[in-house]
């Protein structure tokens, strides 16, 4: 993995989070499943927005959060995603660039605005996401900078990209380019609903040997394997990918590579303020370690450090200097 310009290039939906407090009664009245992510169209986005409370806006999107995390470790990170030429798009670009992430995908004017996810936070801290993909679902294969992919030690893709057809093809093309250049391909299953929607497509990617590093949480790996038992699910999937990483919240995480298996405990945290971005930041830490040739155990530890930082404050992007937090591990 020498002669690379970037450690990790992430590809995903460029989404601005629009976050408002709400009540359980509101979720019920709206018929929303707490803690889920659903995709909505422009009309529903407009309607829901008019019903929800005052909001704050922060840049989000899983792959964007992961890229910001890699950069906070001192890694060289890039992001590919589609924004529109509007204020939300400018805001999104600013935030990634200011975080030290290379983001060169040009804005695209196809008459729809930059994606936003309306996130409703109940008093118990759960977040229910309503995502209008807007411009993000128009990421064309032609927007990929293939040299940028070849220049990256690893690319990282989110399962959510599979939802709309256009970025799905861009994602498949990115995997081809990376594999031809013998770069690593990492993939996250995103969430159980996403697996449910795209089980066949995900199985084709994984069974076809096109994924080197697979990220999942416990519920996701069990759903993918079709068994409600962690070890059985891990055994069923581990042989299909070079590296498998399974996060388990406060129970830590595990990773396998061939016959090797490593575990890491969760890092101690003070108060859990907001769990959004925990998985994205775990992936950031692990991928930073992985792309720098660290051991499985070291990479898991880097993931745990990043996840612990991000859940101790609001927002899904790191606020602390993760490189400093990781000390020698990040050297």
| Sites of contact with a copy of itself (CB under 8 A) | 20-21, 49-50, 52-59, 68, 86-88, 91, 94-96, 98-99, 113, 315, 317, 319
**Could you tell me the smallest distance in angstroms from the CB atom of residue 269 to a copy of itself?**
19
Helix axes 230-238, 218-225, angle to 10 degrees: 60
Q: Which is nearer to a copy of itself, 113 or 167 (CB)?
A: 113
Q: Which is nearer to a copy of itself, 67 or 283 (CB)?
A: 67
The distance in angstroms from the start CA to the end CA of the chain is 17
Phi, psi angles (nearest 5°) of residue 119: -105, 120
DSSP 12-53: ---EEEEEEE--HHHHHHHT--TT-EEE--HHHHHHHHHHS-
Q: Which is nearer to a copy of itself, 68 or 70 (CB)?
A: 68
Q: Which is nearer to a copy of itself, 46 or 180 (CB)?
A: 46
**Could you tell me the smallest distance in angstroms from the CB atom of residue 21 to a copy of itself?**
7
Phi, psi angles (nearest 5°) of residue 153: -60, -40
**Could you tell me the smallest distance in angstroms from the CB atom of residue 162 to a copy of itself?**
27
**Could you tell me the smallest distance in angstroms from the CB atom of residue 73 to a copy of itself?**
16
| 3-class DSSP state of 121 | strand
| Among the listed residues 12, 13, 17, 14, the one whose alpha carbon sits nearest the alpha carbon of residue 117 | 17
Q: Which is nearer to a copy of itself, 94 or 261 (CB)?
A: 94
Residue 15 half-sphere exposure, CB side, CA atoms within 13 Å? 28
Other CB atoms within 10 Å distance of the CB of residue 178: 25
**Could you tell me the smallest distance in angstroms from the CB atom of residue 5 to a copy of itself?**
22
Task: Please tell me the distance from the alpha carbon of residue 277 to that of residue 188, in angstroms, as a whole number.
Answer: 13
Q: Which is nearer to a copy of itself, 214 or 310 (CB)?
A: 310
Phi, psi angles (nearest 5°) of residue 168: -60, -45
Phi, psi angles (nearest 5°) of residue 53: -75, 180
Other CB atoms within 10 Å distance of the CB of residue 91: 15
Q: Which is nearer to a copy of itself, 98 or 272 (CB)?
A: 98
**Could you tell me the smallest distance in angstroms from the CB atom of residue 100 to a copy of itself?**
10
| Among the listed residues 217, 191, 195, 148, the one whose alpha carbon sits nearest the alpha carbon of residue 4 | 148
**Could you tell me the smallest distance in angstroms from the CB atom of residue 299 to a copy of itself?**
25
């Amino acid at each position: 993995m020498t002669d690379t310009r970037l450690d990790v290039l992430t590809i995903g939906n460029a989404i601005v989070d629009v976050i408002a407090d709400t009540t359980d009664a509101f979720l019920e009245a709206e018929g929303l499943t707490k803690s889920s992510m659903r995709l909505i169209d422009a009309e529903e986005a407009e309607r829901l927005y008019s019903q929800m409370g005052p909001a704050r806006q922060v840049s989000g999107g899983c792959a964007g959060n992961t890229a910001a995390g890699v950069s906070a470790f001192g890694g060289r990170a890039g992001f590919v995603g589609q924004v529109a030429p509007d204020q939300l798009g400018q805001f999104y670009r600013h935030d990634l660039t200011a975080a030290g992430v290379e983001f060169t995908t040009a804005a695209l004017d196809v008459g729809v605005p930059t994606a936003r996810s309306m996130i409703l936070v109940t008093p118990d801290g759960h977040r229910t996401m309503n995502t209008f993909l807007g411009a993000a679902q128009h990421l064309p294969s032609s927007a990929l900078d293939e040299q940028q992919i070849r220049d990256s030690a690893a690319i990282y893709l989110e399962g959510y990209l599979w939802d709309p057809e256009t970025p799905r093809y861009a994602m498949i093309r990115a995997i081809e380019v990376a594999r031809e250049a013998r770069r690593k391909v990492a993939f996250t299953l995103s969430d159980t609903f996403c697996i449910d929607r795209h089980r066949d497509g995900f199985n084709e990617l994984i069974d076809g040997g096109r994924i080197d590093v697979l990220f999942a949480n416990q519920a996701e790996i069990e759903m993918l394997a079709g068994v409600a038992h962690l070890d059985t699910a891990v055994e069923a999937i581990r042989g299909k990918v070079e590296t498998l990483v399974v996060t388990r919240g406060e129970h830590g995480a595990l990773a396998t590579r061939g016959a090797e298996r490593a575990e890491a405990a969760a890092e101690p945290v003070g108060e859990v303020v907001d769990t959004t971005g925990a998985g994205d930041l775990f992936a950031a830490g692990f991928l930073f370690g992985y792309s720098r040739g660290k051991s499985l155990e070291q990479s898991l530890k880097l993931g745990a450090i990043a996840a612990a930082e991000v859940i101790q404050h609001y927002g899904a992007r790191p606020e602390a200097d993760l490189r400093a937090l990781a000390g020698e591990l990040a050297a």
